[in-house]
Amino acid sequence: MEIPQANCPPKVLILPEKASPEARICTLAHPRTLTPSRFYFDPDKGLYEFTRVVAPKSSCRSWLIGRQTKLVSQNGDARSGKAPTTTEKPEPELAEVNDMPISDGYTLKNAEMLIATPIDYLFLLLSSFVHESSAKSPTSKRLFLSADDLLEKLSEKSKHLSRISSHEKTRLAMERRLRAVCDTVDAGDEEMYRLSDEKLLHELVRKAKTMVAKGLPASMEERFIRKTLETPVMVVKHKESSACNAIMSQNDKQTPALGVSGAVDSQASTSSAESTASALSTTTEMTVPEDITPAIDASELYHLLRLRTALSYIISSYIPPAIAKPLNTLISSGKSQVDFKILDERLTNIVQMRAEALASRSFGDFSRKRSMYEDDDAAETRAEKKRKREEEEKRKKASESRGIKDLKKVDTKGMKKMSDFFRTAAAAKKK
């Protein structure tokens, strides 16, 4: 029996507790891409974005959703999954509320969930400072605008923004976030705002520090921190020991002086000398490329790299490209609160050490198909392509009918192709 599939399957959402009755899921423009996206808005708690959490494609998982069963006692208090408070058996109509068999539930093909995580109003408001002229030329002069003008411009692409900003508490929070990153002037009874790159960078650095203090995810720590600061090791060098040559020369001198009676001892000493020489000849030495950077505390380097990684993640995820470009210029010029000069020197030195380690490898070593210092991104991309190719082949094999599978087993040797018949017909028409 084939189970029908719904056109719009339900979603598993993880929402904040104790939400207000006015909490809604709204559609707003994404802070960076300006594409319509779903957000969760609560006038008392603020704005939330939905973070998608999904299992890897290699592991097939699904959700089985059923209705919640609540047992109600005769006294009228509801307790999910607990026995009634009274010892008497409750009446059937009062014992269960929304109790339905599991067959009336729902099965989701993909085991994914959407978690509502808080997002700052600041990121939502930054796109209002992007003009057509500023998108083409970031150095164009910015004008002072009122909060009403900024919100009106945002409402053109976010149809639900007007309802969100109509709440007094939300409006005050938005204006407070604007004052944190803008230069302000008073025009009568109204306050005007102009975006300041320095103030915005100061606010983003503060957010990055908070993110580092709480700890980066394990995946980011492994990929962007540990592997980036990992120092390469040079190729193992094989060296002949001088003691090996001394032993061999000593055996050469003793061999002519020995008689027949000392043949056994000579053979024993020769074998022991050969074993000692082989042990000494395989002596290896692990060398590390010379580090030309001054002595720096490792914890400081790791902290700076974590801070830069968090800052880059915030800018690349929430800041519009027209605003992100001058911010990156300020960071590279060293005008931010944190000086990344020491980190840049260290990373440059690590790149040079990796190049030296790669160049020192023997050209005759073809045991490895690819370089031992191959980029991790390239390796992951290759593995992802291989996995997709295997999944595509499995999908094609599963979709093939039995007739096609039987036709593949037919021996076609000596049989003409269909194209041969068409070529013969075309030649006959020309004659």
- How does DSSP assign 397-423, residue by residue? HHH--HHHHHHHTS--TTPPPHHHHHH
| Type of residue at 293 | T
| Of 146, 204, 201, nearest in space to 175 by CA | 146
Are the C-beta atoms of 286 and 236 separated by less than 8 Å?
Answer: yes
Q: DSSP for 216-275?
A: --HHHIIIIIITTSPPP-PPPEE---HHHHHHHHHHHHHTTT--STTHHHHHHHHHHHHH
Q: What is the pLDDT of residues 145-157, one digit of tens each?
A: 999 999 999 988 8
The pLDDT confidence band at residue 179, using thresholds 50, 70 and 90, is very high
Are the C-beta atoms of 289 and 357 separated by less than 8 Å?
Answer: yes
The mean of the pLDDT values for the chain is: 75
- CB within 8 Å of 42: residues ≥ 6 apart: 16, 19, 20, 22, 23, 48
For the full predicted model, state whether its pTM sits above 0.95.
no
Distance CA 144, CA 185 (A): 8
Q: DSSP for 314-350?
A: HHHHHS-HHHHHHHHHHHHTT-SSS--HHHHHHHHHH
Radius of gyration of the chain (CA): 36
Q: What is the pLDDT of residues 212-254, one digit of tens each?
A: 999 998 988 988 999 888 887 665 544 444 444 554 455 554 4
Q: DSSP for 22-81?
A: T-EEEEEE-TTT--EEEEEEETTTEEEEEEEEE--TTS---EEE----EEE-TTS-EETT
CA dihedral angle for residue 122, residue 124, residue 129, residue 134, rounded to 10 degrees: 120
User: Lowest-pLDDT range, 17-26, 147-156, 275-284, 382-391?
Assistant: 275-284
Enter the tokens of residue 314: 């915030």
Mean pLDDT of 403-425: 77
User: CA 254, 258, 262: angle at the middle one, nearest 5?
Assistant: 120
CA dihedral angle for residue 347, residue 349, residue 355, residue 359, rounded to 10 degrees: -160
- CB within 8 Å of 96: residues ≥ 6 apart: 69, 70, 71, 72
SS3 assignment, position 430:
helix
Write down the pLDDT at residue 63.
84
Give the pairing of strands 13-14 and 112-118: parallel
Q: What is the pLDDT of residues 7-22, one digit of tens each?
A: 777 788 899 988 888 9
Write down the pLDDT at residue 429.
54
| Of 311, 305, 344, nearest in space to 225 by CA | 305
Instruction: Name beta bridge partners: 49.
Output: 39, 117
Write down the pLDDT at residue 405.
80
Distance CA 383, CA 380 (A): 5
The sheet that has 182-187: what strands, in order across it? 145-146, 190-195, 182-187
Mean pLDDT of 345-364: 77
